Structure 1
Amino acid sequence: MTTVARIAFILSGQLDLVQDEAQYWDWSRTFQLSYFTKGPLIAWIIGAGTAVFGDTALGVRIGAVLGAAATQLVMYLGVARLWGRPRLALLSIVVLNCSLLAMASGILMTTDNPLLVCWLTALFSLYWASREPDRWLPYILLLLAMAVGTLAKYMMLAFVPVALVFMWLLSRNGLTTGTFVRRVLGCCILGGVLGMLPIMIWNVQNDFAGVRHVLHLGGMSGSRAEAFLRFDKFPEYIGSQIGLLMPWWFAFMMMGAAGVVTSLRDAPGKAARNVETLGYRQKALLAAGFWPIWGFFILWSFHTKINPNWSAVSYASGFILAAAAWDAVWRRRGGRNWRVWPWPLVGLVLMTMLMVHDLFPLPWRYEGRVPFAGQVHIENPILHLKGWDDLGDTVDEMRRTRFDDPDKVFLFGENYDVTSALSWHVPGKERAYCLPGGRRLNQYDLWPGPQAKAGWDAIFVRKKFKGPNDGLLKYFARYETIQYQSRHGGRPARRFTIYLCYDYNGTWPAITGSDGY
């Protein structure tokens, strides 16, 4: 049902391809061993999808739909078949599908989607190997999950400390063997090496651009590394985590996570209040899968800005922990208490509302910015994702009507998101360029610029309403400025500033990497 609902939502056209998806699609048109910010798997998946369904939203996003289905299948098989707990498996899938994280990653084609599939596969393979240390199949699955997951996102390498913590917890109660430990470490290391091999070859060929980008984002180089301890980023980060899970699931997750820690301090057979249906080995797996990753990013948020999705892999365990705690409360209250049973229904209603809200004039909808508490204005965040299709059509119309030779007009944007959106949304899907300077570097900086197009005209696009930009006169003889309010479904959407640039002189800003990663 959820798979059908996701496909129907994509085909409804309610949500334009978002900028990151457009960027990954643009990557897929140039096969490489890796890319500036991510491994190559996301581009390969999109390339396979568009080979079947064409350059359409379904072609780009079909990988996300199939990945979401695979995530649910792996979770169900792991909890229901491997653990022998079908009730908990069903509740875990309910929690998963009623979280904003799963709602988004099951539709938008991002790197977190295949990563979560591989992480869950590795997690249950690790558990399976601990139960049957002499069988080779779980180790093979673990190795494959490590290799493929690393191709999706570097975060897969964090599974190594997860495995180490799990083995340590088991060893405290004599539940490990030398064979198990050696094979697990061998598979994790070999899988990580196989996954990183094409990525490192690409980095060597490109001055380690991807490595430097990761170090910068992690607060270990550049301006993000200036202050080691800061307190302004933590509230934003913890708020984003509550939002990704939904407040009630976040509460249940923390109850379950605290429960496994309490239980692991006691004897193996002793029950914990919020996870009493789980065995010691299962609690150890969930604790190892959740606390090292989630706890690290909580602590690191006191040093630098942490993107909300960075800790997403910890929720592979977190969803099961929330379901176990929810199930424990439900059982204690006889399964009828109003404080327990409505929450999945609330989540399902919210999921439905998010999928259909654009089709109906619901009373709480608002456009643009609205006054709140007198002075403060709130902007509908959904509008940031809408209007790109209309922008593409408008840019194409201007290219055909405002220039003498439409075939000699190239496109460029101020950042990677605008550039990738122009590449996807403008009819013809000609790759746009990204104007260097005053921003982080991106994949477009590693590809050729427009220097060979001297004498051409161009269209430059920036987000929001901006004024004239005389810096363009270094590259063009003259330009015109147009402020454009895009539309989506007949209603106002994102705002842009469009510059019509004439007679390009063949020069292009130098690309510098000083603190630009």
Structure 2
Amino acid sequence: MRLVYAGVLDLRTDEAYYWTWSKESALAFLDHPPGVAWSIRFGTAIFGDTTLGVRFGGIVAMLVTQLLLADIVRRVTHDARAVIFAMLLPEAALYYGLLMAKVAPDTVMIPSAVAMLWALVRLNESGNPRWWLAAGLFAGLALLSKFTAIMLLPAVIAFVLVPDWRHRWLLSPYPWLAAVIAAIVFSPVLVWNAEHDWASFRFQFVRAVATHQLSFRTVGEFIGLQFGLVGFVLLPVVLSGVALTAWRGYRAREPVAILLSTAVLVPFLYFLWKSLTLRVGDTWPMFLWPAGFAATAINLVMLPRQGFPEWMVQSTFRWARVAVISGIAFVVAVFFYYVAAPWNFIGRTDPIGGEAGYERVAARAREQLQKTGATWIAASDYRTYAMLRWHFNGQVPVIQINERGRFQGFRDPGMNLIKDHPGLYVAREPDHRLPLWDLTTAKRQPLERVERVWRGVVMDTYALEKLTGWTPELSPPPDSPLFRWRVLAGDLGRDAVAS
């Protein structure tokens, strides 16, 4: 199902944006570290510049995650039922069972984060300190995909300090060597930021510390997203399993239970707190739930071993079965809705349809290029830029004229076809009336309006205009309005938009 989904559905705008990164040789990017670009480059090297090629890394990431979860549970429980549940629980969650096919920094980070937990489980099982080195490697790879991997640090600290072995590991060189290895693996991001005024860290810091008035709407959105992406039955099952695992772990100072439960609870409570004032992005918490799946599967067989009442054991297994069956049914239903159904039940707010239908915009842009003699395409938001670059795929230079801070280190898009040549401006209405145009010498001639349609519903309308008398500056100074970016309070679930 994930392979079909990956091959059939249109790319979403963020996926196309990350695909543009895969065509560059930059060490890192403003928005995120380079892991997602490397994943896409891996997939497109096999399947070409196709939707399956772009998303293939997510397919592999899901498989690797499941195998690691199964091995974690096997090593802790030595129980086949628990291993089966560890494999099935992710399949019953919409995000993992289907949407891991949608490539994002989170999908690339998840297997590395789980691999770090797996290495620490192997450390606990064997007592061999060299597993610290593997944990450091995987931690560095997780950070190389997304900065939020740092939220697993409290779980590692608790894993070291709470059990009785704290003195052994604090005096051992291996945990410190692991930290050094993680920093070395992460060094491409550090080098890029040192060369670009620490842009990524400043960009993410603004998002992390921004606070606004208390909003029950954003809290409701966060909780609702967790129910939708994890499972209406599965989410309470996982949270209860994590809570019992935390109680058992901290009470008995059991390292693996402490590790897994803390890896879930600390990030979850942080995002819940942030949701009181900000919109938490749909994918932001997704790295924490695989540890919850492992804790839940382990908890199923630990309850009878630790003498819990029979009614509680039976009820726990019953709810776990219901969560798996109902969750998989829901995933299958969503799959058929997007792959086979002809209807749009959600309207313009549909999360998939809201970013589909760009081929019509690209086709009309192609016609206007031929009619007007324009040799390049301009956009003023990264989503339109990314989708047009995806559809034209190098045939015509496509640039975003503003927010040039996003494109530091990018190669020349073809200035010989841009300088002193007419261009075609494509922008979503009413955003095409940006005041930044008053800062340029460009003359704009309206050409036509194009509707982006998905299953009979108009999602957006785009304005196409001819540009003359101006050559865009691809590397404006940092204080230029064409370079800067800022984060809007109401759109923190997405990347920054124009200053």
TM-score range, shorter chain: 0.7 to 0.9
Residue 410 (structure 1) aligns with? 376
Structure 1 CA distance for aligned equivalents of residues 290 and 414 of structure 2: 44
Residue 315 (structure 1) aligns with? 289
The counterpart of 2:352, out of the listed 382, 390, 403, is: 382
1:37 lines up with 2:2 in the alignment: no
1:459 lines up with 2:424 in the alignment: yes
Please say if residues 151 and 195 of structure 1, whose CA atoms lie closer than 8 Å, have aligned partners that are also in contact: yes
Of 490-499 and 460-469, more deviation after overlay is shown by 460-469
Aligned-partner residue type, residue 271 of structure 2 = F
Please say if residues 483 and 497 of structure 1, whose CA atoms lie closer than 8 Å, have aligned partners that are also in contact: yes
Q: TM-score, normalised by structure 2?
A: 0.84
CA separation of 1:139 and 1:282: change in aligned 2, threshold 3 A: closer
1:6 lines up with 2:7 in the alignment: no
1:132 lines up with 2:126 in the alignment: yes
What SS class does the counterpart of residue 128 from structure 2 fall into? coil
CA separation of 1:340 and 1:39: change in aligned 2, threshold 3 A: closer
Task: State the Cα deviation string for residues 30-62 of structure 1 (Å, max 9, x = none).
Answer: 111111111122212212222222111122111
The counterpart of 2:263, out of the listed 289, 305, 328, is: 289
Structure 2 CA distance for aligned equivalents of residues 477 and 258 of structure 1: 62
1:478 lines up with 2:444 in the alignment: yes
Aligned-partner residue type, residue 248 of structure 1 = V
Identity %, equivalent residues:
18
Residue 80 (structure 2) aligns with? 86
Residue 275 (structure 1) aligns with? none
Structure 1 CA distance for aligned equivalents of residues 198 and 483 of structure 2: 14
Residue 56 (structure 1) aligns with? 50
1:193 lines up with 2:183 in the alignment: yes
Q: Output aligned runs, 1:50-129, within 5 Å.
A: 50-81=44-75, 83-129=77-123
1:149 lines up with 2:142 in the alignment: yes
Residue 392 (structure 2) aligns with? 426
Aligned-partner residue type, residue 231 of structure 2 = M
Please say if residues 452 and 462 of structure 2, whose CA atoms lie closer than 8 Å, have aligned partners that are also in contact: no
Name the count of aligned residue pairs: 472
Deviation for aligned residue 1:252: 0.8
Residue 329 (structure 2) aligns with? 349
Residue 444 (structure 1) aligns with? 407
Residue 372 (structure 1) aligns with? none
> In angstroms, what is the RMSD of aligned CA positions?
3.2
Please say if residues 33 and 40 of structure 1, whose CA atoms lie closer than 8 Å, have aligned partners that are also in contact: yes
Residue 477 (structure 2) aligns with? none
Please say if residues 79 and 86 of structure 1, whose CA atoms lie closer than 8 Å, have aligned partners that are also in contact: no
Q: Which has the higher contact order (CA 8 A, sep 6+)?
A: 2
Aligned-partner residue type, residue 513 of structure 1 = R
Of 242-251 and 506-515, more deviation after overlay is shown by 506-515
The counterpart of 1:27, out of the listed 7, 16, 21, is: 21
Deviation for aligned residue 1:469: 6.8
Residue 202 (structure 2) aligns with? 212
Structure 2 CA distance for aligned equivalents of residues 465 and 387 of structure 1: 19
Please say if residues 167 and 181 of structure 1, whose CA atoms lie closer than 8 Å, have aligned partners that are also in contact: no
Q: TM-score, normalised by structure 1?
A: 0.81
Deviation for aligned residue 1:507: 5.1
Task: State the Cα deviation string for residues 451-495 of structure 1 (Å, max 9, x = none).
Answer: 87343222222235678678757443331153322345x644532
Structure 2 CA distance for aligned equivalents of residues 315 and 267 of structure 1: 23
Residue 273 (structure 1) aligns with? none
Please list every run of 5 or more consecutive structure 2 residues that lacks an aligned counterpart in the other structure. 304-309, 474-479, 488-495
